[in-house]
Amino acid sequence: MKIGILTGGGDAPGLNSVIYGVVRTALSRFPGCQLFGYKFGYRGMYRNEFRELTRENTSGILHRGGTIIYSSNKDNLFDYPIEENGVIVNKDVSHVAIENFHKEGMDVLVVLGGDGTLSSALNFHQKGINVVGVPKTIDNDLAATAATFGFNTAVNIVVENLGRLHTTAESHHRVIVVEVMGRDAGWIALHSGIAGSADIILLPEMPYSLEKVVEKINERESQGKMFTIVVIAESAKEQGGQKVVGRVVADSPDPIRYGGVAAKFAADLEPLIKNEVRSVNLGHIQRGGEPSAYDRLLSLRYAAKAVDLIEQKKFGHMVALWKGQMGSVPLEEVFSGGNKVVQADDELIKMAKGLGISFGV
């Protein structure tokens, strides 16, 4: 048996842990099998660039962040930019990847990715490739599973930095606005804001009112609390306003890149209050470094279940966690209900309000 593995989309702590788990579990379960990692995700399938993965060259990667086979969030082989007569045009080149896959005698492809990467995995499965999906995103917005690896680590990183920012905010009586990742879902902001003792949390699912934010800051001042910590999700917006786009990456399947909302919010807020307002964008710090113990264990559980699906020949499925147990769902169902976002009546929202945290509404 020959098993291919690829990591697509943005990197996340835990990718190497899954690779480690799949390699060791597969070699134990299928003696004599070979495993290969495609370089830079689907681009590696298109260019037929891969490396063999063995016990020896995956030793010591369980705790490492990033991915040893690299990743790309630009290479959709069903809509891929190629040059024809000096002009860049987008074409379906998936047949090239499929030909390479079969030419090398690959039997199954294990795909580690988020919604974009897994939607391509579904397309390849529909074209005859044996595919097993593993959910990956620090945003935790895949509705088909209770948790994705990388999320816990990202939250821990934000919480650690909020602790550091608290001390300087209190020392200078400032409002510090901290921008966090999450795309169109507010899970990182919500979890890290609560755990990191933020006073105000602004989510994309709940457009904020500047007036309500000012009220909260003034309320804290009347209580003798002369500083405020605001956690703002990267796609949060003011009521009636627009999301802040940092840049547009034209050759990406998902070209919109959010960024800069904390700086804009700080500039809007400062004229309305007495305090100085400073903004911090944690950026890619949130997706770098070693995975937490929770994410390492979750990654290894996903890896073991992925090998189970291979053994059962249950292809076209993604491994999933529900009610503490590992299972799987058809890839078609991963996208049927849209992304998982924060609901206004979420138990954490209610709890946070009880603690006195404002959501600017």
> Has residue 250 got a pLDDT over 90?
no
Q: Indicate if 94 and 195 belong to the same structural domain.
A: no
The predicted model gives 250-277 an average pLDDT of 88
What DSSP letter does each residue of 159-191 carry, written as one string?
HHHHHHHHHHHHHHTEEEEEEE--TT--HHHHH
Q: Is 250 part of any domain? A: yes
The predicted model gives 157-180 an average pLDDT of 96
47-92 pLDDT per residue, tens: 999 999 999 999 999 999 999 999 988 889 999 988 888 898 989 9
Predicted local confidence at residue 255, as pLDDT: 74
Q: Indicate if 131 and 217 belong to the same structural domain.
A: no
312-360 pLDDT per residue, tens: 999 999 999 999 999 999 999 998 778 899 999 999 999 999 999 999 9
Global pTM?
0.93
Q: Is 343 part of any domain? A: no
Range of the domain at 313: 2-149+291-334
The predicted model gives 141-170 an average pLDDT of 95
Q: Is 199 a catalytic site residue?
A: no
Q: Indicate if 116 and 164 belong to the same structural domain.
A: no
What's the structural domain count of the chain?
2
Identify the band that residue 251 occupies on the pLDDT scale cut at 50, 70 and 90. Answer: low
Q: Indicate if 32 and 8 belong to the same structural domain.
A: yes
Q: Indicate if 250 and 135 belong to the same structural domain.
A: no
Residues making up the chain, counted from first to last:
361
Q: Indicate if 131 and 189 belong to the same structural domain.
A: no
- Please check whether residue 111 is in contact with residue 8, taking contact to mean a CB–CB distance below 8 angstroms: yes
Q: Indicate if 230 and 129 belong to the same structural domain.
A: no
Greatest alpha-carbon pair distance for the chain in Å reads: 72
Q: Indicate if 298 and 279 belong to the same structural domain.
A: no
Q: Is 91 part of any domain? A: yes
> Has residue 3 got a pLDDT over 70?
yes
Q: How many CA atoms lie within 13 A of 96 on its CB side?
A: 17
C-alpha–C-alpha distance, residues 12 and 94, integer Å: 25
Q: Indicate if 271 and 157 belong to the same structural domain.
A: yes
What CATH number should be reported for the domain holding residue 16? 3.40.50.450
Catalytic residue among 11, 75, 115, 139: 139
Q: 6-10, 73-77, 149-153, 274-278 — which is least confidently predicted?
A: 73-77
> Has residue 253 got a pLDDT over 70?
no
100-125 pLDDT per residue, tens: 999 999 999 999 999 889 999 999 99
Q: Is 360 part of any domain? A: no
Share of the chain above pLDDT 70, in %: 99
